[in-house]
Amino acid sequence: MKARAVVSVAVSACVALVACACGPEGSKEDPAAKPSQPSASTPAKTPSATPTGDQPPPRTKEGAIQRYEQYLHALGREDIDTVCDVAGPAAKKAEDQGLGPCTSTYATVFQMVSPAQKKALQTATVDPQRVAVRTPDKIEMPVESVRSSATFSESDLGSYTLEYLKNDWYITD
């Protein structure tokens, strides 16, 4: 249980650090703007923040699931840039509580995930029926919602809260 808490805090800290350092630069955009609307305020966006170059996910349950799956796949690939982007706010909280920056913290987290779990995370999906919508901007992703070839528990992966901030979904807790 203690290892799970450290992993959760580490993940949270990593996410927060990346969000602060290279988070979405589209923060001047109207959060209600449609995803297809081009933005003139994002030319300096770090390419790794959205690896596919796609628009941010919509402010819906499906958009949150898409973003969380992006995080899971990146965790399985050890894609530190994407992991720290999605988990930025949570990583910042963990860093404020004494853990290191997201990149160094997640380097440790990657070592704690078994090769079989990493492979399973690369293709993991989320069962929408197990996702809890708390508010239009806050969605809970319980560990039971993760569907993969490996089984994950609270101590392995944990449950997360995603919030819609600055025109995208981020892990905040």
Is residue 167 domain-resident?
Answer: yes
Is residue 42 domain-resident?
Answer: no
What pLDDT score was predicted for residue 53? 58
Supply the mean pLDDT for the chain.
Answer: 77
Is residue 71 domain-resident?
Answer: yes
What pLDDT score was predicted for residue 58? 84
Q: Where are the beta strands (DSSP E) in the chain?
A: 125-126, 132-135, 138-141, 146-147, 160-165, 168-171
CB 154 within 8 A of CB 163: no
d(CA 114, CA 26): 36
What pLDDT score was predicted for residue 156? 86
H/E segment holding residue 61: helix 61-77
Predicted TM-score (pTM) of this structure: 0.69
Is residue 46 domain-resident?
Answer: no
Where in the sequence is the domain holding 114, given as residue range(s)? 2-26+54-171
Is residue 108 domain-resident?
Answer: yes
Q: Which residues of 8-30 are buried (b: 16+ CB within 10 A; e: fewer)?
A: bbbbbbbbbbbbeebbbbbeebe
pLDDT digits (tens, 9 = 90+) for 17-47: 333 333 333 333 333 433 333 333 333 333 3
Is residue 126 domain-resident?
Answer: yes
> Does position 10 have pLDDT exceeding 70, yes or no?
no
CA dihedral 6, 111, 17, 88 (to 10 degrees): -80
Angle at 107 between CA 102 and CA 110, to 5 degrees: 120
Number of folded domains that form the chain: 1
Among 33-37, 80-84, 93-97, the least confident range:
33-37
- The share of the chain scoring above pLDDT 90, in percent, equals 56
More confident residue, 14 or 92: 92
CB 127 within 8 A of CB 58: no
Is residue 33 domain-resident?
Answer: no
Is residue 123 domain-resident?
Answer: yes
What pLDDT score was predicted for residue 55? 72
